[in-house]
């Protein structure tokens, strides 16, 4: 199934910064028209991105503002997209937050918000848009997952658990969509230099950075779009990350893998 974004409408959530913004620019270069989502408080940022990309790439861009942490936020976002009366070819589920610390110390409210944004919004938007895509007999879902989907992540346990949910759901639904013209893909980067890691008590340094460093969102986006156009359903950027996160956990005893994760994901002092 050929994937071609040219002159197609693409929805991207969390588009005001980081991987979302980088993907928006990559897809603008592909001549896609964009529906960009962000928080209401990020309007000034996203409108600037809209003006910049429209002038540079001569495409159409619409902006929508919604908070997925609030009940019904994802459904309202979908309805706003529907009112535009555009045939949506691709959904990029990218909006997300992270919370660093011990599970028993992080507030229930903070972790519930993480689940609402990183899990329930992904689930809801994927379910709503994919039904339309099945009817139109073509479509692409891109879920921004993480290498955290492949093993537990102590010190941000809920984040890793949510990514595991998204990963399993994506792979299962992609199989269900075989022969429909619709495909589901995940992008699974390691830690990336985005505003996500500069909020919610995430430390400036963890031990894992000594091994992997921080990827650039522009590199992740460029490589990911290239991989998806080739039909890859699961894409982990970087050979080292592929080996460590896809293959090493299968070789190590589960308990040992969890001990190592606990050590390397600690804050560096």
- Which position among 78, 100, 159, 191 bears the catalytic label? 159
Domain layout of the chain by residue ranges: 9-264
Nearest residue to 74 via CA among 63, 64, 83: 64
Residues 6+ apart with CB under 8 A from 232: 185
Class of CATH domain 9-264 = alpha beta
Give, as one character, the DSSP assignment of residue 201. Answer: T
C-alpha distances in angstroms, 84 versus 6, 11, 61, 228, 244?
Answer: 19, 12, 11, 26, 43
**pLDDT score of 196:** 85
* Residues 218, 224: Cα–Cα separation, whole Å: 10
**pLDDT score of 72:** 96
**pLDDT score of 14:** 97
Question: Which segments of the chain does DSSP mark as H helices, in order?
Answer: 18-29, 43-57, 73-83, 108-115, 121-136, 157-176, 209-212, 217-229, 239-242, 248-251, 254-264
* Residues 101, 20: Cα–Cα separation, whole Å: 25
**pLDDT score of 35:** 98
Question: Which segments of 153-247 does DSSP mark as H helices, in order?
Answer: 157-176, 209-212, 217-229, 239-242
Residues 6+ apart with CB under 8 A from 127: none
209 is catalytic: no
Per-residue confidence in pLDDT tens, the chain, 269 aa: 789 999 999 999 999 999 999 999 999 999 999 999 999 999 999 999 999 999 999 999 999 999 999 999 999 999 999 999 999 999 999 999 999 999 999 999 999 999 999 999 999 999 999 999 999 999 999 999 999 999 899 999 999 999 999 999 999 999 999 999 999 999 999 989 998 888 767 888 888 877 778 899 999 999 999 999 999 999 999 887 788 777 777 788 888 888 888 887 888 76
């Amino acid at each position: 199934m050929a994937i071609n974004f040219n002159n197609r409408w693409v929805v991207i959530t969390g588009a005001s910064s980081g991987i979302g913004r980088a993907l928006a620019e990559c897809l603008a270069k592909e001549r896609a028209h964009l529906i960009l989502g962000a928080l209401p408080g990020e309007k000034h940022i996203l409108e600037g991105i809209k003006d910049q990309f429209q002038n540079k790439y001569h495409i159409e861009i619409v902006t929508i503002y919604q908070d997925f942490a609030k009940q019904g936020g994802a459904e309202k976002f979908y309805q706003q997209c529907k009112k535009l009366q555009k045939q949506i070819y691709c959904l990029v589920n990218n909006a997300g937050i992270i919370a660093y610390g011990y599970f028993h110390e992080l507030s229930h409210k903070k972790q519930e918000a993480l689940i609402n944004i990183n899990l329930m919004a992904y689930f809801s938007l994927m379910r709503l848009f994919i039904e339309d895509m099945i009817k139109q007999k073509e479509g692409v879902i891109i879920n921004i997952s993480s290498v955290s989907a492949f093993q537990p992540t102590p010190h941000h346990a809920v984040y890793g658990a949510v990514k595991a949910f998204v990963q399993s759901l994506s792979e299962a639904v992609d199989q269900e969509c075989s022969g429909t013209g619709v495909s589901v893909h995940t992008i699974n980067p390691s830690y990336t230099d985005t505003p996500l890691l500069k909020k919610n008590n995430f430390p400036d340094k963890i031990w894992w950075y000594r091994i992997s460093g921080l990827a650039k969102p522009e590199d992740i986006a460029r490589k990911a779009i290239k991989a998806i156009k080739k039909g890859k359903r699961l894409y982990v950027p970087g050979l080292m990350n592929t080996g460590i996160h896809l293959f090493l956990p299968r070789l190590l005893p589960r308990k040992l893998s969890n001990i190592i994760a606990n050590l390397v994901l600690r804050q560096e002092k």
